[in-house]
Amino acid sequence: MIENNNSDKPQVNIYIGEDEWANYSFQNKVRLLYRLKNSDNLLAKQLVKSISSLIEEEQKMSEIDYEATVKQCEDTIEWFE
């Protein structure tokens, strides 16, 4: 579990095995990356680079439009809290 130091932000629980990651939607991976980037926790900050690399690799392999994914998340779900 990764805990934010700011009490006004929700906790982020992370356990993703290889199978779970493979079944995780690209949109959920982007949400996870955003939450990690906004966490004040040191471990979360350390995970950003590796998660970002995995997302970038998947984006290139699948020719996914990252910006469109972020826009879709913004339009449909409140995930910027």
Q: Note the pLDDT tens digit of each residue in 24-75.
A: 888 888 888 888 888 888 888 888 999 999 988 888 878 777 777 777 777 6
Residues 6 or more apart in contact with residue 69 via CB below 8 angstroms: 26, 27, 30
Q: Where are the domains of the chain?
A: 18-76
What is the enclosing helix (H) or strand (E) of 41? Answer: none
Region 16-21: what's the mean pLDDT? 84
Stronger pLDDT, 76 or 47, i.e. the higher one: 47
Distance CA 40, CA 4 (A): 5
pTM tops 0.75: no
- What would the two tokens of residue 45 be? 């900050």
Is the separation of the CB atoms in 2 and 13 below 8 Å?
Answer: yes
At 14, is the pLDDT very low, low, confident or very high (cuts 50, 70, 90)?
low
Region 4-30: what's the mean pLDDT? 76
Is the separation of the CB atoms in 71 and 27 below 8 Å?
Answer: no
